[in-house]
Amino acid sequence: MHYFFIEGETLSVGLEVALAGEDLNHAYRVLRLKAGDNVAIADGLGWAWKGQIVFSSPEKVIACLNRELPAAESFLKITLFQSLVKGDKMDLIVRQAVELGVRRIVPILTGRSIPQRGGQQDEKRVLRWRSIIRTAAAQCRRAYLTKIETTSKLNSVLPRLESCKTLVPWEGEKILPISRILKQTCPEDRAVFLFIGPEGGFDRPEIEALVKAGAISVHLGPRILRSETAAAAAITMVQAAWGDLTGEGDCN
């Protein structure tokens, strides 16, 4: 069943909705959907419905929503603070984060990050990442569209750590494994911040600033991982311990 998003509208059973933009073109010209075909429509806020195409033309494709679909959202609210990395690696990180249930992504600029282009270049990257988020969410049947912010400097996000459980995988941490933290009870508010460093990792002053702000420095095991691997590994471990990857359905 093909999956589409309609944002900015209040959706409900019995409502007829029209696909727009790339979704309209994809539905009519690529998928060749016609009246009677079943589709899924999500609102980007965590709700999805099964629908049926009732009208299809090059100018308009309309679906009628007939029943609500089960949510595929984790009750764990993970925010990924990801240091900028080279080339298309950031695209991969964004895609995998969406598939693994991350709620928000905050690109950050650290001492070893790639140079920040700023201005229009940063806006173009955010637009590309939002497109990747939409495609990845449809692929894995998420009804919530992961939010992504514009790039921030590390120091500017430190005040946000005061109210949230924050984990920072770091290759310089030799004592505390992330598994020990994940054996603890899930945060009461079910919110977790994850900070992932760039190629070369965080430098010590950055780790010290993060820890001073309330973060916990942990290690992911004996091997040094690439930034994109570390992000996927850390998210998976957190979701398995406190989220929905075990299939048990609730936070202990």
Which tokens in the block code for residue 215?
A: 């973060």
Q: Which of 68, 86, 108 is the endpoint of a domain? A: 68
Same domain, 136 and 221: yes
Asked if residues 75 and 244 have their Cβ atoms less than 8 Å apart, the reply is: yes
Same domain, 24 and 128: no
Same domain, 135 and 63: no
Cα distances (Å, whole numbers) of residue 59 to 11, 39, 53, 106: 22, 18, 14, 37
Same domain, 144 and 33: no
Q: Which of 35, 68, 101 is the endpoint of a domain? A: 68
| Pairing label, strands 152-153, 104-109 | parallel
149 domain-assigned: yes
Same domain, 130 and 21: no
Same domain, 84 and 62: no
212 domain-assigned: yes
State the CATH number of the domain containing residue 24. Answer: 2.40.240.20
Count, residues in the chain: 252
The number of domains in the chain is 2
Same domain, 213 and 110: yes
Same domain, 8 and 97: no
Same domain, 47 and 111: no
Domain that holds residue 185: 77-242
Q: Which of 34, 68, 102 is the endpoint of a domain? A: 68
Same domain, 117 and 21: no
Same domain, 49 and 95: no
C-alpha 49/C-alpha 115 separation (Å) is 42
184 domain-assigned: yes
252 domain-assigned: no
C-alpha 217/C-alpha 172 separation (Å) is 9
Cα distances (Å, whole numbers) of residue 7 to 19, 44, 63, 185, 186: 10, 6, 15, 35, 31
The tens place of each residue's pLDDT in the chain, 252 residues long, gives: 999 999 989 999 999 999 998 899 999 999 999 999 999 999 999 999 999 999 999 999 999 999 999 988 999 999 999 999 987 899 999 999 999 999 999 999 998 887 656 566 778 899 999 999 999 999 999 999 999 999 999 999 999 998 899 999 999 999 999 999 999 999 999 999 999 999 889 999 999 999 999 999 999 999 999 999 999 999 999 999 999 988 765 565
Same domain, 49 and 100: no
